[in-house]
């Protein structure tokens, strides 16, 4: 069983107005497509995780004729889930078809990049993967970043952390330690946890290392 990590990027054609909205970095900082229902349906449904301005995103989706329905659920001031239903464009449908053919599995999440590209991984037999790449429509650039056997242990970020590390990261996040610029220090995190500064720093360092190794 083989896998590809690749980025697809429009060159001289728009994939879909929603794709354009999701990569408009004036009001969106981060976008991931988490789940989708796009095969053999007239109106695909997609669930996104987004960091950005919910109000401006809603305005953008409202203005897109292809959008038939959407719903935004806020997590906090900047983080949200966005559910969309909308008609596809010809280019988008052809791109979907290339990677949802028999024998292939696209692995979530799909990460939207600020240059308009979408990075994802797809698993399948070598022949099916070659066919998918060969049927990518004109107007889409494909950059294959990694090819190999799908044999690397996959672990979720949540499972990679101990309960204490998870608590420390959540406390640091809530306190503003990961904001830019930072609104909290290690000392603030330690005070919230009721532990020594060195203990809080150690938990964060180990947690960050595990998160990076899990994601990359």
**67: pLDDT strictly greater than 70:** yes
Q: What is the mean pLDDT of the chain?
A: 90
Tokens of 74: 């806020």
Mean pLDDT of 83-89: 93
- Residue 193 has what pLDDT? 95
Percent of the chain with pLDDT over 70: 94
Percent of the chain with pLDDT over 90: 62
The count of structural domains within the chain is 2
What angle, rounded to 10 degrees, do the helices at 126-134 and 90-99 form? 170
Q: The pTM is what? A: 0.74
Residue finishing a domain among 149, 167, 195 = 149
Q: CA-based angle 51:53:59, to the nearest 5?
A: 125
pLDDT digits (tens, 9 = 90+) for 23-39: 866 888 889 999 999 87
CA dist 114 and 131 (Å) reads 28
Q: Comparing C-alpha atoms, which of 12, 5, 22, 13 is closest to residue 92?
A: 13
- Sorting pLDDT into bands at 50, 70 and 90, what band is 144? very high
Distance of CA 63 to CAs 41, 47, 51, 90, 106, Å? 23, 19, 20, 20, 29
Mean pLDDT of 80-92: 92
Structural domain range at position 64: 2-149
Residues 85 and 136 grouped into a single domain? yes
Residues 179 and 143 grouped into a single domain? no
Residue finishing a domain among 95, 118, 149 = 149
Residues 39 and 110 grouped into a single domain? yes
Residues 91 and 54 grouped into a single domain? yes
| Helix ranges, the chain (H) | 17-22, 54-62, 90-99, 126-134, 157-160, 163-175, 186-193, 197-215
- 3-state class percentages of the chain: helix first, strand second, coil last, to nearest 5: 35, 30, 30
Q: Comparing C-alpha atoms, which of 52, 91, 96 is closest to residue 74?
A: 52
Residues 16 and 71 grouped into a single domain? yes
Mean pLDDT of 96-107: 91
Residues 71 and 165 grouped into a single domain? no
Residues 19 and 126 grouped into a single domain? yes
pLDDT digits (tens, 9 = 90+) for 150-192: 876 666 666 778 889 999 999 999 999 999 899 999 999 999 9
- Residue 81 has what pLDDT? 96
Q: Comparing C-alpha atoms, which of 35, 26, 15, 20 is closest to residue 81?
A: 35
**86: pLDDT strictly greater than 90:** yes
Contact 122, 99 (CB under 8 A): yes
**64: pLDDT strictly greater than 90:** yes
172: number of Cβ within 10 Å: 25
- Residue 160 has what pLDDT? 77
- Residue 77 has what pLDDT? 87
């Amino acid at each position: 069983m083989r896998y590809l990590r690749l980025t697809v990027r429009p060159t001289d054609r728009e994939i879909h107005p929603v794709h354009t909205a999701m990569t408009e970095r004036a009001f969106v900082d981060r976008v991931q497509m988490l789940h989708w229902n796009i095969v053999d349906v007239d109106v695909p449904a997609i669930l996104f995780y987004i960091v950005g301005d919910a109000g401006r995103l809603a305005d953008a989706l409202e203005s897109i004729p292809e959008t038939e329905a959407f719903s935004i659920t806020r997590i906090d001031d900047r983080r949200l889930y966005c559910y969309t239903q909308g008609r596809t464009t010809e280019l988008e449908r052809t791109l979907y078809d290339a990677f949802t053919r028999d024998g292939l599995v696209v692995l979530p999440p799909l990460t939207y990049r600020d240059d308009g590209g979408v990075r994802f991984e797809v698993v399948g037999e070598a022949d099916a993967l070659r066919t998918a790449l060969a049927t990518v429509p004109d107007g889409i650039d494909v950059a294959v970043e990694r090819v190999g056997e799908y044999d690397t242990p996959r672990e979720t970020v949540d499972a990679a952390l101990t309960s204490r590390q998870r608590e420390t990261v959540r406390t640091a996040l809530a306190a503003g330690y990961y904001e830019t610029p930072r609104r909290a220090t290690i000392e603030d995190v330690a005070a919230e946890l009721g532990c020594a500064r060195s203990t809080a720093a150690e938990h964060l360092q180990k947690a960050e290392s595990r998160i990076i190794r899990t994601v990359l």
